[in-house]
Amino acid sequence: MLFLVPTPIGNLKDITLRALDVLREVDVILAEDTRTSRKLLQHFEIETPLRAHHAHNEHKAVPALLEELQTGMTMALVSDAGTPGISDPGFLLVRACAEAEVPVVVLPGATSFVLALVGSGLPCDRFHFEGFLPHKKGRQTRLKYLAELPHTFALFESPYRLVKCLEQLREHCGPDRQACVCRELTKVHEEIRRDTLTELIAYYGEGEGVVKGEIVIVVAGAG
């Protein structure tokens, strides 16, 4: 059996009791970064063995992992933070398990874009999640597509490219489109800033140096 276990995106108290039980009981934990996950496990005094399972090895690793699961092993898949498979490794292993009829159990838990969406103050009865935009090829095409959506959309962005991304969104969506930048959610320096794209550019462009932290951008739809 494979368990998908969400981990806190910042505040360690956000892990669930069920997640802790699963992490203690499985045979092995597959981690995006074993160094990051080891800190979490040490905090909760969990001694389950760790293995690396990340974007660079998942294609090669899946067949062997599936074979082990079929022999009766239980595994938990975790990412560095949040829910596995959301802009993180996980899809390939889950698909392989589904095709081989190996049970997959998904635990509920932290997902940063959901927190950002409901905290943005923008309509969220219908929305589009984009994940990370392409860095170069295809980026303009995706921006044009997003700008024309009639409903709210959310995307991830690196702090190093935040201002540039906001400027590109303004170019496609217009200067007065409402948006929200959510930074360091659940952490000590959590920030949720709501304004037009123009005002957000002015605010984040004024500071010296690079904005720090994990970032979710939520933008109102064109409708």
Domains in the chain and their CATH numbers?
Answer: 2-106 (3.40.1010.10), 112-219 (3.30.950.10)
Closest to 219 measured CA to CA, from 182, 178, 166, 184? 178
- pLDDT of 222 strictly over 70: yes
Residue 190 tokens, joined: 């959590």
Q: Comparing C-alpha atoms, which of 117, 47, 106, 100 is closest to residue 79?
A: 106
Is this model's pTM higher than 0.85 or not?
yes
pLDDT digits 0-9 by tens, 5-58 = 999 999 999 999 999 999 999 999 999 999 999 999 999 999 999 999 988 888
Neighbours of 36 (CB within 10 A): 14
CB-based burial of residue 106 (10 Å sphere; 0-12 exposed, 13-18 middle, 19+ buried)?
middle
**194 pLDDT exceeds 90?**
yes
Report the pLDDT value the prediction gives residue 87, as an integer from 0 to 100.
Answer: 84
3-state DSSP assignment of residue 186: coil
- pLDDT, tens only, 129-181: 999 999 889 999 999 999 999 999 999 999 999 999 999 999 999 999 999 99
The span from the CA of 154 to the CA of 152, in Å, is: 7
Contact 84, 75 (CB under 8 A): no
Is residue 208 very low, low, confident or very high in pLDDT (cuts 50, 70, 90)? low
Q: With 0-12 CB in 10 A as exposed, 13-18 as middle and 19+ as buried, what is 128?
A: middle
